[in-house]
Structure 1
Amino acid sequence: MVQAEATTKVGKSSPLSAQVEVACGGDLELIIGEEGVQVKLLVSSTILKLASPVFAVLLGPNFKEGHDSAPTAGLPKSVCLPDDDPEAMLWVCQILHYVRKEPMKADLALLGKIATHCDKYDLAYALGPWAEYRLQVVECHTMEESLSLLYCAIMLANNKAFHKSTKYLVLHVARLTPLAMLAIIQDYKLDGQLLASIEAKKEQSIRCFQLRVESIISMITAPIIPQKETRQHTMLLLRRANFWPVSSLGSHASLHDLINDARAIVGCAGSRECWCDSVEAEKTINVAADKALVRADGLCLTCYKEGAMSRNQGNCLARDARECLGIQTEGLDEHGM
């Protein structure tokens, strides 16, 4: 047997049968994967049954696996799990047996496989501390990474990662078309109602910014000392950034990009003496941006699971300030803007 501390690679290039002793003196052998790419894990059935309600039933007297896994001539019991991923199950078993020593790389693909098996075997509670540590160090820099983290957060029942990933989608991803939403549902196995809630939150945040930027646009289009060349240049900047006409605001950009574009326009227009009061304009755009960023908060996993968002009861069961996560939200007016 190979000791649990050893690094065991499982994949298409692996030998026909790899063996890993996860639990010294274990009484159960899990045969993971299809023939040709299998790995055999020697584990403790007691630990698996305590950690997983699914394994507790599966290895009980009422299921075929429980009967077929009866020990023979002092050998450990054996259970075949051909549909499971060998590498992911190796990680899961080693985490449950507290024998995983080497750190895990920030590999969202592997993390997603582990999350899938966690959901399959109802291990969210048992893997909770490990998931809390692993997910908090995962960074979102692209839409794909945030969607992968969102899937892991749901499968591992981690509220903070759910909040972080949905906040990235609200703030950094432009409005999604129905076709794009359908592709995400299929590729990432996410709930359509959840994506609709994210889009609604995004729409509220952009609309909040849109209402406040209207007054800024009026300052650009009505300067005290009209200069035709400067005026035309400013309007061109507005059109290119989808700030004018106001109805196009946010149609092709994320809220984060809109805010950056607005601040750039303020600086460019101000340098050409187009503003009636450049200091006041800069203050106005900063206030608008801050209010919109407060609106662009992430969603709450508890509310999602309880169905509160689908019943239009808001984003948090506390109906206020994200108390589910202990994150205080300040700066909203009476209309939530």
Structure 2
Amino acid sequence: MSVLVLAEHDNASLKDATLNAVTAAKALAGFAGGDVHVLVAGKGAQAAADAAAKIDGVAKVLLADDAAYGDALAENVAPLIAGLLAGYDALVAPATSRGKNIAPRVAALADVAQISEILSVEAADTFTRPIYAGNAIATVKSADAKKVITVRGTAFPKAAATGGSAAVEAVSGSGDAGLSSFKGAELTVSARPELTGAKIIVSGGRALGSGEAFTQYIDPLADKLGAAVGASRAAVDAGYVPNDYQVGQTGKIVAPELYVAIGISGAIQHLAGMKDSKVIVAINKDEEAPIFQVADYGLVGDLFTLVPELTSKL
């Protein structure tokens, strides 16, 4: 069973989500003794392709270097993948914003059902995935000849980024489909670790009351711990922090070694995004808050008193 992995990259380097997807692809390919190939679609992406070639377990890297793919527009990348899919049994993509944008279009072009955010590979045609905001795990068996799969990165370990020596092969597609164009991006620049790859995350909720308070109480603690900063949807909707801070079912799925939830009640949508964290610490004045049901350590009290005290002790 040959599997094609869609690489997550910024044209210069690979994102860690690619390594998680490769692990899932290796498990899938292993059921039939097939190979794992990686597709790097971008503009000036030779460096990313070279990095992909070094991943342990990757047999070949396909490099589609074209201005049409530089901004990862789904309208352009999906037809490229659909054309390549003729030579593969499955496409595996990370369940990131890019993967969730491109994979459904590929599935539609291939006339198959997408299997979203898998947690494990049980057989060549059988997978597990979360439903009901992660409160139940469904086992899905696909009868489609071609599989289009997105992978929840927190469920699979990262493949070794070194140890491989795959060949890099140039491929081409139809280029610009003329259906969309890239206008620009407003990106948050931070010296802190990327949220989805951070080992420690400090998240704040609506209880902080304002963006100023969020910065005043959450940022110093995160700085002391060398942590990324996250937030609940309520805090994002209230305008305390940008959208890319959001952790949860409709935000980013994370599983750090330590997750500190401050002023977060623990709505089911938020828990779905962080309950796989190794150690969860919750600070909330409501001792009945749902967050304490998943927390390894809980501190009941006023966050405006407890957080500065905790920060000062570090």
- TM-score over 0.5 (shorter chain): no
The interval holding the TM-score normalised by the smaller chain is under 0.3
Please, what TM-score do these two structures have when normalized by structure 2? 0.27
TM-score normalised per structure 1: 0.26
Q: Which protein is richer in helix relative to its size?
A: 1
Higher strand share: 2
The structure that has the greater radius of gyration is: 1
